[in-house]
Amino acid sequence: MSIEAGSKLQGKVTGITHFGAFVELPDGSTGLVHISEVADNYVKDINEFLKVGDEVTVKVVNVEKDGKIGLSIRKAQDRPERPANSERPTRSSQQRPPRPQGGGPRPQGGSRGGSQRQNQSRPTTLSFEDKMSRFLKDSEERISTLKRQTESKRGGRGARRG
């Protein structure tokens, strides 16, 4: 009986280590079930799940050229396949909470730098480079405005002294 990747077999646990369990297969060869392949949830101590002498159903994950056999107990369990569109919501369908307003110094004129540009019509999809250049430009405008305001309060360059 040849062991092929993907086949399910009955085996007997012959040894347990901190990283997995060795399972003897029907043809007499031994394979390793890595600790991550024992159960669907996190396994801290493999001894909570397996003992030497346990009969287990395993699925052959891989057979290496040097004869090592990789096994999985969790993949051998029959479970319905997950549908392509899983229960988990995608990032685009999640609602984001509204951003808090205020918080920082505002430029003169009561608008947040660049809001006039945002009202103009523009293409809806921008390349990464376009987004990055827009971000850098807005960032530099905000930093220069902030520096101007803080320097005038501290009595920095060109500020009047009374």
| β-pair type (69-72, 55-63) | antiparallel
Asked whether residue 131 is assigned to any structural domain, the reply reads yes
- Tell me which DSSP letter residue 135 carries: H
| Model pLDDT for residues 90-135, shown as the tens digit of each residue | 565 556 666 666 555 555 555 455 545 555 555 568 888 888 889 9
- What pTM does this model have? 0.49
Tell me the CATH number at 20.
Answer: 2.40.50.140
Domain that holds residue 135: 107-154
The answer on 113 and 62 residing in a single domain is no
Beta bridge partners of 9: 58
| Model pLDDT for residues 46-99, shown as the tens digit of each residue | 999 999 999 999 999 999 999 899 999 999 887 766 655 556 665 655 566 666
Phi and psi at 130, nearest 5°, equal -65, -45
Domain boundary among 47, 72, 97: 72
**Beta carbons of 26 and 11 less than 8 angstroms apart:** yes
Asked whether residue 89 is assigned to any structural domain, the reply reads no
Number of domains in the chain: 2
**Beta carbons of 2 and 14 less than 8 angstroms apart:** no
The span from the CA of 52 to the CA of 61, in Å, is 21
Domain boundary among 72, 98, 124: 72
Asked whether residue 143 is assigned to any structural domain, the reply reads yes
What mean pLDDT do residues 144-153 have?
82
